[in-house]
Amino acid sequence: MAGSRLEKVGTIFTRATGLMQAKAVTWEDRPVWYDVYAAFPPKEEPRFDRPAPDMKIKQIFYEDDKIRAIFHRNNKQIGTGNLLSSHPSLTQRFIETYKKVSQQYKGEADEKQIYVEAIDVLNRERSNREEAVATEEVSLSLAFKKAQSKQEKTGLSIKDIFKD
């Protein structure tokens, strides 16, 4: 029944040290954090039975948190985001738009009116972008037709080049 007492016998540091002393783990294969922990041990040993400190935790809320909560409460089907993208996410664009709209109203409108206006602005921006993409598609199809005409003039095709 070692699984039931695993966390109760020593700390992760003492268990890792024991594995290295017993040569179950070589010194070269020690965990990445081991040297840092050895150099800077915590003030209190991190044990399972240590009582939690009696501290009052501050509630930290930013202005954007409230706006984000409103947006996600009303739009559950947003979809995924790409963390590698340098473009702002839909939520970030909504927060920026919401702030701009609320500055225009200068406190004269309630949250619901500002929310509806911000959604309308985002939808207009999206439709403008879709129109731009549609014109790009037209130009891409023209470019494809030009490439086909060049292929017909030269008589070469990629399929012929890579045939076995």
On whether both 43 and 66 belong to a single domain, the answer is no
On whether both 113 and 132 belong to a single domain, the answer is yes
Contact 119, 90 (CB under 8 A): no
Contact 124, 148 (CB under 8 A): no
pTM: 0.50
On whether both 63 and 116 belong to a single domain, the answer is yes
> Amino acid identity of 145?
K
On whether both 47 and 64 belong to a single domain, the answer is no
pLDDT, position 111: 85
pLDDT in tens, 2-14: 555 556 677 889 9
* Structural domain that includes position 107: 59-71+87-139
Question: 């017993």: which residue's tokens?
Answer: 22
On whether both 64 and 131 belong to a single domain, the answer is yes
Is a pLDDT exceeding 50 seen at residue 152? yes
| 14 domain residue, yes or no | yes
Residues whose CB falls within 8 Å of the CB of residue 125, separated by 6 or more in sequence, listed in order: 93
Is a pLDDT exceeding 80 seen at residue 155? no
pLDDT in tens, 26-76: 999 999 999 999 999 998 888 778 888 888 988 888 989 999 998 988 888
pLDDT, position 10: 79
Q: What is the mean pLDDT of residues 94-113?
A: 87
On whether both 63 and 118 belong to a single domain, the answer is yes
On whether both 23 and 65 belong to a single domain, the answer is no
